[in-house]
Chain A
Amino acid sequence: MIAIVDFKAGNLTSVKKACDHLGAETVITSDPAQVLKAEKIVLPGVGHFAATKALDDSGLRDAIVNSIDRRVPFLGICVGMQWMLASSEEAPEVHGLALWPGECSRFPANVKSPHVGWNSLHIRNGESRLLRGVAPGSYVYFTHSYRVPLLAATAAECEYGGSFSAAVERDNLFGVQFHPEKSGAAGLTILKNFCDLQC
């Protein structure tokens, strides 16, 4: 069972729908006990970084950290990926998981923001389990105003007002800035790779 974590920030219907389409068994939950029992965890997120504060207050953060320590595969989407870093300029007082160093920053003033639309992936990690079968240069759908810098764990980068991390991966930790559930065939391939991971 894959737990899709609901922290009351935005709508999770489309992630669930895409997983259903792929035949994966999922449950949308805000119950830490259910997250602890899950074989895999997806943390979707739209909107403001400050909304992740709800994860701290509800016990979901502790459940996620506990699962990650047990090597349970974890996929953060959009703000869910940003939360894997230590912090974001969007809400400096809110603490992310600090799985990687660095801070999410706003796009420079010379490009429109949010970055909305289909942009291409430059795959940096040819061994990526998440991006297996995704052709270099594939287009995926982004919508965000803050971005994750390039990291040692960057599996794919994207160019918009400079380069940023489109996908990160290390062991069983995965993050995507784009929305795989809204990225057509390429996005479904990525979600399927996560759903099918053997651990």
Chain B
Amino acid sequence: MLTKRIIACLDVDAGRVVKGTQFLDLRDAGDPSELAAAHSAAGADEIVLLDITATHEKRTTLLETVRRTAKELFIPFAVGGGVRTLQDAAAIFDAGADKISINSAAIADPSLISCIAQRFGSQAVIVAIDAKRNGTNFEAWISGGRKPSGKNARQWAQEAESRGAGEILLTSMDRDGTGEGFDCELTKTVSESVRIPVIASGGAGGAEHFVSVFREGVADAALAASIFHFGLTSILDLKSQLFAAGIPVRFPC
């Protein structure tokens, strides 16, 4: 049976893992390659590394971080942040990533999705959507959550799918870093509108939040960062609780 994936996210700034609340107030959480290996050993199904500040000067650092992290990692590894062109994507794949995640650049030029998908396959392209409630709708924001894009998150997810995205990484900006739980309404809205897998992100605080987002949110995978880095929840404990609640999960042998 296909299991629900638990994805550990490493938000990286200048080669170090950091974690903030609602995209601000960053705290140091350790070395990316060490944390990735630890999460993999603890039962994470996948690792996502997001370069959250991704400025031009820091690109070389990022590629080196990706190379170092990928070296001894034998589970899927995705990298995002600052991917603007096919060349950026190619360099990240070359450094050892299996998938890239694109956000602002895809909104600015949606043809980037098909361009990367044609060269590396749809399975290698995640379109990340940072969504924020706007009345009864959800709007996609860009530039690391600094600017509204004017696009409806659900419609944008559908367009991304039609252009060749293999997965959607959907972050609730309202919940990010709060530990109050995933936004199940947002997740369900998007997950039921597309045929590709949706990864829920933003707001994980405890096992019950993962149960809700898989049941009510119809998520295919769920991502969290701070709860794992600071040891609030071990991935194995989390999976045991999900299993007890009847959610199919993988236990590493």
Query: Bound complex: CA of A160 vs CA of B3, how far in Å?
Result: 11
Residues from 7 to 62 in A contacting B, C-beta threshold 8 Å? 9-11, 13-14, 17-18, 21, 46-48
Closest B residue to A45 by CB, please name it: B121
Q: Please list 26 pairs of residues, one from A and one from B, whose beta carbons are closer than 8 Å in the complex, sorted by A's number.
A: A9-B121, A10-B121, A11-B93, A11-B120, A13-B70, A21-B74, A47-B120, A47-B123, A113-B195, A114-B123, A117-B3, A117-B45, A117-B220, A118-B3, A118-B45, A119-B3, A135-B253, A139-B250, A139-B252, A143-B166, A160-B2, A182-B76, A184-B74, A184-B75, A184-B252, A186-B253
| B252 close to A116 (CB less than 8 A) | no
Interface of A is mostly: mixed
- Report chain B residues within 8 Å CB of A117: 2-5, 45, 197, 220-221
| B72 close to A21 (CB less than 8 A) | yes
- Report chain A residues within 8 Å CB of B45: 117-118
Residues from 22 to 56 in B contacting A, C-beta threshold 8 Å? 40, 45
Q: Which of A114, A141, A183, A184 contacts B166 (CB 8 A)?
A: A114
Q: How many residues of B contact A (CB 8 A)?
A: 34
Known: A14-B98, A119-B2, A138-B253. A112 touches B72 (CB 8 A): no
| A119 close to B98 (CB less than 8 A) | no
Check: A115 CB closer than 8 A to any chain B CB. yes
Q: Which of B71, B74, B121 contacts A187 (CB 8 A)?
A: B74
Closest A residue to B92 by CB, please name it: A11
| A118 close to B74 (CB less than 8 A) | no
Query: Bound complex: CA of A17 vs CA of B247, how far in Å?
Result: 33
Q: How many residues of A contact B (CB 8 A)?
A: 38
| A17 close to B120 (CB less than 8 A) | no
- Report chain B residues within 8 Å CB of A159: 1
Closest B residue to A8 by CB, please name it: B119
Bitwise, A137-150 to B at CB < 8 A (1) or not (0) is 01101011100000
